[in-house]
Amino acid sequence: MIEGVEVSVGQILRDAREAQNITLEDVAMRLRLMHRQVAAMEADDFESLGQPVFARGFVRNYARLMGLQPEALLARMEGAPAEPAPVASAEPPMPSSWLTSPWLILFMLGVLMVVAVPISLYWWLNSDAGETPHAVIAAKPVSPPAPAVTPVVPNPVDAAAAVGAEAAVEAAAPAAARSQLQLEFGEESWVEIKDASGRTLHRQLNPAGSSAHIQGQPPFDILIGNAAQARMTYNGRPVDLNPFISATVARFTLEE
C-alpha cells in the first residue's frame, strides 16, 4: 500500500481474499451470492447491488468472512473522514475450555434461533390472525353460495366422458409453466412459501445479505418476516411488499 493513498473498500476486501488464497467463486458460494455481486463489491460498484441497505449487508458479511472488522468498511461507504480507523484481521482469543469456545456459543445460539424464531412467529401470527386481513394480489371475487339442489344420479355415458376429460386435464397439468420468485434480504428475514398444491417450497430464516430463488406452480401463499428489509421479483417483475406489511410481517397470495 502506497503511503498517503487511501485504499478503497473493494480493494481491502480483494486483498484480504487473495491473501487467504480464496477465489471469487468460493466467496460467492459461502455468502450464497452471485459471482457478479462479489465482483461488484471488490470493484466498489455498490450501486449495482440495489438499495444501500442491501449493499451494506453484503459488505458486512464479506468482511466477517475474511476476518475483518465490518464497521470500519461500512464507515468508508457512508463517507467517513479521510483518516478512517485501521482495518485489521480479528484474532479471536484462545478459549480456556470447550465450554467457552466461540464456535460452541455460535452453535448454541444458532440452535436457539432455529427453535425460537418459528415458535415466536407462529404465536404472533395466530395472536392477531383475526385483525390482519389476508392480502391477495389479483384476487378473484367470491361467488355467493349456490342454493341447495336435489342430487341427480349421473348417466353412465356422461360419467365416463367426465372421467376422460379429467384425465386429459391431469395429463396436461405437468406442462404448465413454472413461475419464478427471487428474494434478496438486507437483514435477517423468516420466509415461508407454498405453491398451488400446498407444498412448502421455502421455509427458513435467511441471513442478512443473502438471496433465495424459488420456482413452482402459482398461486403462491407467501409469508415474509422483517419484510421492510426484503426485496422481491416475480417472473422478473418487482413486487411492492409495503401494502401487505402488518407490523413487520407481510402475508399475501401471489397469482399470475
Per-residue model confidence (pLDDT) at position 194: 96
102 in a domain, yes or no? no
b or e along 106-123 (b: 16 or more beta carbons within 10 Å of the residue's beta carbon)?
eeeeeeeeeeeeeeebee
The pTM score is 0.36
Residue at 200: amino acid letter: T
Residue 192, domain CATH = 2.60.40
Per-residue model confidence (pLDDT) at position 10: 92
* Helix segments in the chain, DSSP class H: 9-19, 24-31, 35-42, 52-65, 70-77, 102-127, 156-172
Per-residue model confidence (pLDDT) at position 220: 92
Per-residue model confidence (pLDDT) at position 79: 45
Task: List phi, psi (to 5°) of 87.
Answer: -100, 120
pLDDT one digit per residue (tens) for the chain, 256 residues: 445 567 899 999 999 999 999 999 999 999 999 999 999 999 999 999 989 999 999 999 999 999 999 999 998 885 433 334 444 444 444 445 555 667 778 888 877 777 676 677 666 666 554 444 444 444 444 455 555 545 444 454 454 344 454 544 344 444 446 899 899 999 998 989 999 999 999 999 999 999 998 999 999 999 899 999 999 899 999 999 999 999 899 999 988 7
166 in a domain, yes or no? no
Per-residue model confidence (pLDDT) at position 101: 67
Residue 13, domain CATH = 1.10.260.40
82 in a domain, yes or no? no
| Domain edge (last residue) among 22, 52, 77 | 77
**CB-neighbour burial class of residue 227 (10 A; exposed 0-12, middle 13-18, buried 19+):** buried
47 in a domain, yes or no? yes
**Which triple of cell numbers denotes residue 147?**
342454493
How far is the C-alpha of 245 from the C-alpha of 222, rounded, in Å?
12
118 in a domain, yes or no? no
Q: How many of the other CB atoms lie within 10 Å of CB of 193?
A: 20
219 in a domain, yes or no? yes
Per-residue model confidence (pLDDT) at position 107: 82
Q: Following CA atoms 57, 60, 61, 66 in sequence, which dihedral angle do they give, to the nearest 10 degrees? A: 160
How far is the C-alpha of 205 from the C-alpha of 183, rounded, in Å?
13
Question: What's the number of domains the chain is made of?
Answer: 2
b or e along 169-178 (b: 16 or more beta carbons within 10 Å of the residue's beta carbon)?
eeeeeeeeee
202 in a domain, yes or no? yes
| Domain edge (last residue) among 48, 77, 106 | 77
| Domain edge (last residue) among 44, 77, 110 | 77
Domain holding 62, by residue range, is 9-77
Task: List phi, psi (to 5°) of 246.
Answer: -120, 120
Per-residue model confidence (pLDDT) at position 25: 95
**Distance from the Cα of residue 167 to its chain's centroid:** 38
34 in a domain, yes or no? yes
For the four alpha carbons of 228, 50, 217 and 143, in that order, the dihedral sign comes to: positive
